[in-house]
């Protein structure tokens, strides 16, 4: 939950990536990989919306499931709507789903490689040297200021 509503798409996308990074860290710490990605946006006390999508194979890589969460944004949010909370969830930990392979198709859908190893390395660096050892610039707007408890935010 944010100290103020997010209204700009860039801020909401940054929040989704930030939360996906936190979720990826927790998944790797517990040795889990999931196939169902859920995006939740809360607009006010009484109104929220969620959307889900199933991946073809389990992952704990926040770049993979975070991209899917970003794709879900257009299904539940319209430009200018105030967002108070962003949630990204991963579930479906029961293993890979069977899929039909294309036999004669040259343009078979190719998935990006799993880069969860990069996540494990950044997790290890943060554990050894602290949470501020490695981060993305987009995350700076969600860190707490040293003199204030409100998250940082760049007003557009």
Rounded to an integer, the average pLDDT of 18-31 is 93
Lowest mean pLDDT among 37-41, 113-117, 130-134: 113-117
Using the Cα atoms of residue 22, residue 26, residue 32 and residue 38 in order, give the sign of their dihedral.
Answer: negative
Grade residue 101 by pLDDT with cuts at 50, 70 and 90. Answer: low
- Alpha-carbon distance values, 151 to 2, 4, 68, 140, 142 (Å): 7, 9, 25, 9, 5
* The predicted structure's pLDDT at residue 45: 87
Count other Cβ atoms within 10 Å, centred on residue 87: 17
> What is the CB-side half-sphere exposure of residue 58 using CA atoms within 13 A?
13
What's this model's pTM, rounded to 2 decimal places? 0.69
- Alpha-carbon distance values, 42 to 3, 5, 33, 106 (Å): 13, 10, 25, 42
* The predicted structure's pLDDT at residue 98: 62
* The predicted structure's pLDDT at residue 111: 53
* The predicted structure's pLDDT at residue 20: 96
pLDDT higher than 60, residue 150: no
CA distance 33 to 127: 20
- Closest-CA residue to 65 (of 40, 93, 41, 35): 35
Grade residue 128 by pLDDT with cuts at 50, 70 and 90. Answer: confident
Q: Check: CB of residue 30 under 8 Å from CB of residue 93.
A: no
Angle at CA of residue 66, ends 63 and 100, nearest 5°: 80
Grade residue 156 by pLDDT with cuts at 50, 70 and 90. Answer: very low
């Amino acid at each position: 939950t944010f100290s103020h509503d997010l209204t700009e798409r860039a801020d909401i996308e940054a929040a989704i990536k930030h939360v996906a990074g936190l979720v990826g860290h927790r998944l790797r710490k517990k040795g889990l990989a999931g196939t169902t990605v859920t995006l939740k946006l809360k607009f006010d006390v009484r109104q929220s919306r969620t959307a889900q999508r199933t991946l073809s194979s389990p992952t704990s890589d926040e770049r993979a499931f975070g991209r899917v969460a970003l794709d879900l944004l257009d299904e539940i949010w319209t430009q200018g709507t105030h967002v108070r909370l962003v949630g990204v969830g991963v579930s479906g930990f029961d293993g890979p789903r069977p899929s039909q392979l294309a036999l004669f198709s040259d343009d078979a859908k190719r998935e990006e490689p799993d880069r969860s190893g990069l996540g494990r390395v950044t997790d290890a660096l943060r554990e050894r040297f602290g949470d501020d050892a490695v981060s993305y610039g987009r995350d700076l707007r969600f860190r707490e200021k040293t003199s204030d408890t409100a998250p940082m935010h760049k007003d557009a």
